[in-house]
Structure 1
């Protein structure tokens, strides 16, 4: 099934289309056989901004210049935009995010701000569960959080 990577080892990509339109990427985080993954809702670009902007603007070629400024401010804000900016698509499904060419690296020296837990967004069940983790007051967050609690 399409969600098979979710039941594999942690540190893998689970990539799927949301409503048949936008790619979304999750990072698997559970034990083998127990489906668990975290949706990547946004990222703060630390390098490669120009390439991300070109990727994001490609589908908007016929839009007015204000669209360019808006996209530049929100390069990888939202799960679909993140995937466009990073060129994530179906071929990344089940990719090793710890050792592959597309990888997640934890560098505490680059994290500036307090990590907080807030309620989840974009879902209809268990919205009140504080399983959304983000940097407080970070402009690259996908949606303004509800009152945050330190995690």
Structure 2
């Protein structure tokens, strides 16, 4: 079932960089910035992760947690976190089931070659677990500020 703005987001559980299971419901009572990104260590994804890192404290002041999800394995997430000192959870969605539930697992065409992958997207979930905002086909530049501003003004 695909998520819908204004509706409850179904709980899910994925492993984090330490291999521990993390569920969306673990963050009930907090605003959640759930962002899907294509691949660890790539230029756009690194920029986005570092932008979230640099604003981590500002999100925290608004009672918001940041969670990144990609189809990369746990070991890749750990290297990404270590290399860029990321202070938030990265979850491994290797079978892309959660990505499909959020309708961000898409057929992409890169240089004439088709393959499936993550469409960079961010979802703002409120303290009650309702999807309040979705940003699809995200452009990295300025996006983290846009998400922060949404929370500041609406939650």
Fold shared, TM-score > 0.5 on shorter chain: no
Q: Which has the higher contact order (CA 8 A, sep 6+)?
A: 2
TM bucket, shorter chain = under 0.3
Length-normalised TM-score, structure 1: 0.27
Structure showing the higher helix proportion among its residues = 2
Structure showing the higher strand proportion among its residues = 2
